[in-house]
Amino acid sequence: MGKQHTPTFPQEVIDEYAALGVDLPALFSAGHLGTRMGVQILEASAERVVGTMPVEGNTQPYGLLHGGASAVLAETLGSVGSMLHGGSSKLAVGVDLNCTHHRGVRSGLVTGVATPVHRGRSTATYEIVISDEEGKRVCTARLTCLLRELPAK
């Protein structure tokens, strides 16, 4: 579904994960589902995560962007932000996602921007705004992730 993009990360985050032998772009990718849906993460930090997804291939029977597709984009972006906030010692697990769908989209690319609402020690909450190519809001979502300590190796 198009050219793959490598997300940009703050250098200190790249260095932290490189020291652990972790391929950061692979770790914070959209995963198999996101890849199948064409999700691309363009920018990633704990303060802001930006990603895109094509409408084509992600529609419901009426030809509109499927609400579940918007949820996949929102959860992907919010989870990446939560993981970056938690750092290399934590795992972010989504515990609550809600989406309000404002308007339909039939074609083009939608862009999601995730920004933090709350970043604590054990949870992180992100608001994700998904817009069409004209900048019109398509969906507003909120994701809360539990931040769990990684098991000892």
Q: Which residues are catalytic?
A: 75
The position carrying tokens 């604590």 is 120
Q: In this structure, are residues 65 and 107 in contact, taking their beta carbons and an 8 Å threshold?
A: no
| Strands laid side by side in the 109-119 sheet | 40-44, 49-54, 109-119, 123-131, 137-149, 90-101
* Longest Cα separation, the chain: 49
In angstroms, the Cα distances linking 72 to 53, 79, 96, 150 are: 10, 10, 13, 24
Please give the DSSP secondary-structure letter assigned to residue 11.
H
Structure tokens at 91: 């795992």
CA torsion, ordered 101, 50, 86, 97, to nearest 10 deg: 10
